Amino acid sequence: MISEIIEKWIKGILIDGITGNLSGLFDNVNAKVGEIASDVGSTPQAWNSGIFNMLRSLSETVVLPIAAAILALVMCHELIQMITEKNNMHDFDTSMFFRWIFKSAFAILIVSNTWNIVMGVFDATQSVVNQSSGVIIGETSIHFDRLIPGLEFQLESMTIGSLLSLWFQTLVVGLTMNILSICIFLVTYGRMIEIYVVTALAPIPLATMGSSEWRSTGQNYLKSLLALGFQAFLIMIVVGIYAVLIRNISGAADIAGAIWGCMGYTVLLCFCLFKTGSISKSVFGAH
């Protein structure tokens, strides 16, 4: 009789501990995954206007003069090449000056409108992301009371040894999930910081667009902008796949299996989120 009371008391403590661990096990991950859609669906200006305005001011006052000097060197080099390539100036064509003037004017127009071009790229990509968010993103929150109906009834039918093992597993998984929530934060915020850093230097690579030799620098820069923009679309796809996989766990009979399955899908989510940057760059040929 006394042994049964002690056993029931111990089981009650373990069940309360397990349900407490499970109730907050995926709260941080749920919050971070829920923030992904809003984070990647924002343009650089909308995500943090303070950072955006600071970097734009730095770009226009510090980087743009450097880009103007580079543009002058590039166009002078281009003019010298155009003059000397015709039989060492013996075959001289005055129309080349008009071509050079046109190329110079076009290059100046690009550099002077750098921020309009860069923001136009991100506005276009974010429009694609926002239009697809309703189709791709589903219910991503993990709630064990929905995944495993009758959870407490299943726990009460388990032995003390099984409950102790499950309690320890929930502690380990809980620590891991906190680390994974940090990984999700690093991916989403790291991408936005990378966008700000890249756009701050935008006038310099765009200043090379007027040169036939150095044009690849500017072209690769535009490819990298497209890759960063469409990385958000790939992130949305990864989160959408994660939402479908999580729903497949619903109705699982094995509590421990469901816990580790959810953690495994979350690990897979983090891994795929880190890979979206390299995948997007490989698609657009950026390096």
pLDDT for residue 134: 67
Report which listed range, 29-33, 64-68, 181-185, is most confident: 64-68
Report which listed range, 170-179, 257-266, 268-277, is most confident: 268-277
pLDDT tens-digit map of 100-143: 788 778 888 888 888 888 888 888 888 888 777 666 665 556 66
Under the banding of pLDDT at 50, 70 and 90, the label for residue 180 is confident
What tokens appear for 97 in the block?
Answer: 């000056």
- Which one is predicted more confidently, 8 or 188? 188
Which are the contacts of 5, defined by CB distance < 8 A and separation ≥ 6?
Answer: none
Under the banding of pLDDT at 50, 70 and 90, the label for residue 41 is confident
pTM across the whole model = 0.79
Q: What is the mean pLDDT of the chain?
A: 78
How far apart are the C-alpha atoms of 94 and 46, rounded to whole Å? Answer: 49
Describe the crossing of helices 160-200 and 49-58 by its angle, rounded to 10 degrees. 30
pLDDT for residue 77: 76
Handedness of CA 207, 209, 215, 221 (dihedral sign): positive
- Which one is predicted more confidently, 45 or 152? 45
pLDDT for residue 169: 77
CB 54 within 8 A of CB 164: no
Mean pLDDT, range 256-269, rounded to an integer: 79
Is residue 201 predicted with pLDDT exceeding 80?
A: yes
Handedness of CA 27, 32, 35, 37 (dihedral sign): negative
Is residue 58 predicted with pLDDT exceeding 80?
A: yes
pLDDT for residue 25: 64
Mean pLDDT, range 200-229, rounded to an integer: 85
Ramachandran category for residue 251: left, alpha or beta (phi over 0 → left; psi -120 to 50 → alpha): left
Burial of 232-264, coded b for 16+ CB within 10 Å and e otherwise, reads bbbbbebbbbbbebbeebeebeebeebbebbbe
How far apart are the C-alpha atoms of 43 and 48, rounded to whole Å? Answer: 9
Q: Any idea where the domains of the chain sit in the sequence? A: 2-63+113-284
Handedness of CA 254, 257, 259, 265 (dihedral sign): negative
